[in-house]
Amino acid sequence: MKKVLPVTIAIITHRLDTRFIASLRSSQIAKNVIVVDNNSNNDWEKLKKNYNFDLISHEKEIVDFAKTRNEVLKIIKTDWVFFLDSDETLGESAEIIQSNQDKIENIMQQNLFDGVSIIRRDVFLGKELMFGEAGNTNIVRMFKVKNGKFKKNVHEIAQINGRLGRSDIIVSHFSHSDISEFITTVANYSQMASLNEAGGNEARIINILKMIFFPPLKFLQNYVFKFGFLDGYRGLIYATIMSLHSLFVRVFYFENNNLEVNNEPKA
């Protein structure tokens, strides 16, 4: 029998594509796998024949990913959890998956930390990005269930109550199949992120200044200061679209507030 680890891997998916299948396949190193289905329309009966997982249906649109992840934490029975996005994989080959499995096992056996960050490598337009904010990102994904909780409704962050370490576990992130999907995703996430911006006249002035200065600074951060130009045209495209993300957050902020004003009842 193939060895599995006493850990739960949790995946939230809206995808009906090979990226999710690759994510699910790599998750089979875990004793327990939880898949939260957000209207992906996958053939779950067929997938059940090939993979081990428990399915949770989440029919409403997810507008707070931290809340959804925290709800998953409440039903996990293992001591450790590893969150994997539906466009991420623990390896594209058996050798890489085995290497990550060994690293996860060592972390649990040594028990030095309550949570660890992993290395996430973005694959964009068929090639791994080595620079910019996407190059070798460290993000907390593995922790003891009782010691972790997520914050922020989008681009959620795991906060660890206890000892936090860094691991050399590598996750490959296939976030965007093409540029149009990238822009659509950025627009959707920006709209959710805009809901976190404070209201009021002072906040409006601050957001106007952010709208003017943040997008070009974001571009310079990714393309120049973090050497995104070394990724060639992919680095240029990535830096440009991420600067749009910064712009969209502010644009949607004003749209949200204008809608609120327009919907106010007349005296």
pLDDT band at 259 (very low <50, low <70, confident <90, very high): low
Domain-located, residue 115: yes
Statement to judge: residues 85 and 44 lie in one domain: yes
pLDDT band at 18 (very low <50, low <70, confident <90, very high): very high
Name the burial class of residue 151, with classes exposed (0-12), middle (13-18) and buried (19+) by CB atoms within 10 angstroms of its CB. exposed
Examine the pLDDT at 170 and tell me if it is beyond 50. yes
Domain-located, residue 70: yes
- Residue 145, sorted as left (phi over 0), alpha (psi -120 to 50) or beta, turns out to be alpha
Of 54-68, 188-202, 209-223, the one with minimum mean pLDDT is 188-202
Statement to judge: residues 36 and 102 lie in one domain: yes
Examine the pLDDT at 2 and tell me if it is beyond 80. no
Contacts of 226 (CB under 8 A, 6+ apart): 131, 132, 133, 135
Task: Give me the mean pLDDT over the 80-85 stretch.
Answer: 98
Examine the pLDDT at 107 and tell me if it is beyond 70. yes
- How many structural domains is the chain composed of? 2
Name the burial class of residue 198, with classes exposed (0-12), middle (13-18) and buried (19+) by CB atoms within 10 angstroms of its CB. exposed
Examine the pLDDT at 50 and tell me if it is beyond 80. yes
Task: Give me the mean pLDDT over the 112-134 stretch.
Answer: 95
Statement to judge: residues 142 and 73 lie in one domain: yes
Task: Give me the mean pLDDT over the 192-218 stretch.
Answer: 86
> Which of 135, 153, 175 is a domain's end point?
175
pLDDT band at 199 (very low <50, low <70, confident <90, very high): low
Statement to judge: residues 73 and 140 lie in one domain: yes
**pLDDT given for residue 202 in this prediction:** 78
Examine the pLDDT at 26 and tell me if it is beyond 90. yes
Statement to judge: residues 165 and 185 lie in one domain: no
Statement to judge: residues 42 and 145 lie in one domain: yes
Domain-located, residue 267: no
Statement to judge: residues 26 and 40 lie in one domain: yes
Tell me what the pLDDT averaged over the chain comes to: 92
> Which of 131, 148, 175 is a domain's end point?
175
**pLDDT given for residue 38 in this prediction:** 95
Higher per-residue confidence, 264 vs 87:
87
Statement to judge: residues 170 and 183 lie in one domain: no
Task: Give me the mean pLDDT over the 80-109 stretch.
Answer: 96
Task: Give me the mean pLDDT over the 246-254 stretch.
Answer: 91
Domain-located, residue 73: yes
**pLDDT given for residue 198 in this prediction:** 65
**Which secondary structure element, helix H or strand E, spans residue 170, and what is its range?**
strand 164-176
Examine the pLDDT at 266 and tell me if it is beyond 90. no
Examine the pLDDT at 264 and tell me if it is beyond 50. no
> Which of 157, 175, 193 is a domain's end point?
175
Domain-located, residue 251: yes
Range of the domain at 184: 179-262
Task: Give me the mean pLDDT over the 220-227 stretch.
Answer: 96
Of 68-72, 73-77, 184-188, 235-239, the one with minimum mean pLDDT is 184-188
Statement to judge: residues 106 and 161 lie in one domain: yes
**pLDDT given for residue 244 in this prediction:** 95
Statement to judge: residues 62 and 165 lie in one domain: yes
> Where in 38-163 does DSSP place strands (E)?
54-57, 80-83, 88-89, 115-124, 127-128, 137-144, 148-151, 157-160
Statement to judge: residues 122 and 35 lie in one domain: yes
